Structure 1
């Protein structure tokens, strides 16, 4: 771009970082304007700055604050809520080049990383030391740890092992005026002051820019995985199995749901040999060792059968387990090939999963839209995926009505509008309705205290 607005700005930013890492050409501005939420609005940024250090991030944020320019932090851009979408009069601050794994402490079981480290790269690095980082969003091969922290990402393992916030011990943060603070700890325990580390996790870059993270780890050994597979005649019968697993007090290592639309889309794309005749597939995993794991697997299989599951079987071969769970991870990109996808991220009580799935089906029929379903069913986190043909404005309008209806039904059943993707831009209305006036005022007070000029990722999160 050659506007009189961007050229002086690029010169100013080029004095803070290497000028080659200040991007102002039209292609770069377009590429960095939005995340993977196809329905969320965005405006091209004034510039994109790729920083390599906390010091560079601090200098860019301080400059932007002084110039009255907004800053939108960005990792890999894999988000599904519009949280990394650029806004008017903003710089996109990319942390993708900050990829160092600074320290792996085996004795204390923690790792210190920069925010641009890819989730799977971290997992593979610590595995070499006999350690494990459990949070595993479906995008684990392409999403960054910084982005995972900004949205408090979950994943397949979170039903048993928790979400990102459960593993963040501490962090380095650049505040809205460019100052740098250290939050948290490296000890196993610590309750000094307010838990500002937990506050930053899931804040979607609205309170600070995370430039380093200290993450707790678990031992890698000690798990023995078995998968339990069941095919169900309907979404609601699969939902009944999920509720029954919860009532039985079983906490599986994973419990995932995939409906027929997703199965067909993945298999047509990847040829994994998935069944086309099943309406809904439930995939469970247990990882207890020895006879305990065998007994749990048998109990889950019996629950599946009692709820109407057919072809219930166990898989212990690691390659087969990986193939089945790969189908779950690939569902979203497979559906994207069919048209723009409007993604829900609702979470309801596990006992309400059958009713919520039934309401989703009713909503699809009422508004005449295609809704595919995947879910981290074991913790009630459902991802109805509304698919619309490119250019069909009438279907797009119906899809938006369906989206709002699903959010309303979720809240009516005691749920929350986002379980792991974040509020971003797509879920602002639902978040505001869920939080209520007094709690929104608390959010505003915190935002104002830390970012009085509204520099960091304005308009996102609440």
Structure 2
């Protein structure tokens, strides 16, 4: 360790190399509270591309593992330290380098916070649509690493659709540029897309060229109450089949609603079994909401209430964003599933989760990006109770198995990390798994980048 720290300090300022065990321990894990994490040897906080290159060259020469990190808001353990590693925190590389309204691109460093970028481009009449629930804390580098989504993905798509080009430091310290900043471009293999969602296992993103959109009109939100989560899922199917493109279509079940009320005192309706939120940012959102309201009633909605104004709409969206923190507060520990199924199977997924919760005697709240079929069943349990912990693990696995059975995937936006490594093998199959491992070895032959994650 002494040689490692000495070498790192040769290319980094003293304050950028942290070795105090009490300090480095605070960088050991992300927000996935039930994933193992090791003890880092050192934490480094570079500010420049050359400093990142120095870290990777040093780690490569000394055969030391490197774990890249952003704001550590991830939910799969992808940013968790391994014993003896260099934690490479990129939060100080937080500059917005360029906003180009003509070409509708932004060039940013990885530590830029999602919400800060959104505010900066809004001043130019533009928008960066991907908006994870943690958008006020999470960084662009972390969003790219996990291929994150958000509430508006049903209309505007996910992070991968907005990353045009990247500068990436490879495991041996070489700097690779991928992609483009033009509206079109198909030269060579799409290495940019390969890095999106790779969770720091192929290289370290140090700069990103991101596509922007014209800022949409302010959206209005409708809340529809249902007697069952399955009925709400059926309403989603009707809305999408009718050709509507809401800017948001989100769901919270009764367990989640109650948890949000306890945490925020918002007074959401607890007499309902599911609350569906639909939003439109069109020229006439009221007319669109009225049409969706009729479809919800036809699917069995007991109450349909359009928001009166933007303030009420924002309150409803704030309630949805509070869902995961609220469920975490129920029993102190959660296992958050991230299963995405075809929209046509959403009702089956929701009903299946309810059966799993009942069979195991557990509290499992479900919130979902319903318009994408991306569900977040959240198992709430007491980690000090051995039997409840065992049942939580079993239910988590059954939920992922259900998602695959319904034609879905084990993760729609949170990534694999530590949490879902075993399940990834089941989804990919042996041929797919071997090809992905070969790709990883090509980029990182020594296996120092984020070992133990994804594959």
Report the TM-score when normalising by structure 1: 0.96
Map of 2:183 onto structure 1 = 188
The equivalent position to 2:292 in structure 1, one of 300, 320, 330, is: 300
Output the CA distance in 1 between the equivalents of 2:165 and 2:3.
Answer: 37
Q: Quick check: 1:225–1:316 contact (8 Å CA) kept in 2?
A: no
Q: Are the aligned partners of 1:229 and 1:284 in contact in 2 as well (CA < 8 Å)?
A: yes
State the shift of 1:224 in Å. 4.4
1:74 aligns to 2:74 (yes or no): no
Cα distance between partner residues in 1 of 2:361 and 2:270? 23
* 1:281 matches 2:275: yes
State the Cα deviation string for residues 94-145 of structure 1 (Å, max 9, x = none): 0000110000101111000000000000000000111100000000000000
Counterpart CA distance in 2 for 1:336 and 1:363 is 19
Note if 1:384 corresponds to 2:381: no
What are structure 1's unaligned runs of at least 5 residues? none
Look up the match of 2:223.
229
Worse-superposed segment, 93-102 or 253-262: 253-262
Match of 2:150? Answer: 155
Deviations 1:183-204 (A, max 9, x none): 1101000000000001001100
Q: After TM superposition, list the pairs within 5 Å mapping 1:246-395 onto structure 2.
A: 246-290=240-284, 293-338=285-330, 339-395=332-388
CA drift of 1:343 comes to 0.3
Q: Unaligned 5+ residue runs, structure 2?
A: none
CA contact (8 A) 2:169 2:206 kept: yes
Q: Deviations over 1:163-208 (max 9, x none)?
A: 0010001111000101001111010000000000010011000000
2:426 matches 1:433: yes
Shift of 1:270: 1.7
1:453 aligned onto 2:422: no
1:166 is aligned, of 156, 161, 165, to 161
Equivalent pair of 2:8/2:54 in contact (CA under 8 Å): no
Q: How does 1:124-139 map to 2 (within 5 A)?
A: 124-139=119-134
Alignment of 1:105-120 (within 5 A): 105-120=100-115
RMSD: 1.1
Normalised by the size of structure 2, how large is the TM-score? 0.98
| Cα shift readout 1:221-269 (whole Å, capped 9, x = no counterpart) | 4x24221110111111111111222222222111000112222222222
Within a 5 Å distance, the mapping from 1:74-93 to structure 2 comes to 74-93=69-88
Q: Cα distance, 1:335 vs. partner?
A: 1.7
Deviation of 1:344 (Å): 0.2
Q: Deviations over 1:133-163 (max 9, x none)?
A: 0000000000000000001110000011000
CA-to-partner distance for each residue in 1:402-427, whole Å, 9 max, x for gaps? 01111111101100000000010111
Name the SS of the counterpart of 1:337 in structure 2.
helix
Aligned partner of residue 144 in structure 2, secondary structure = helix
Give the paired residue count.
Answer: 454
Partner of 1:165, secondary structure, is helix
2:38 aligned to which of 39, 43, 47:
43
CA distance in structure 2 between the aligned counterparts of 1:11 and 1:417, rounded to whole angstroms: 42
Are 2:196 and 1:201 equivalent residues in the alignment?
yes
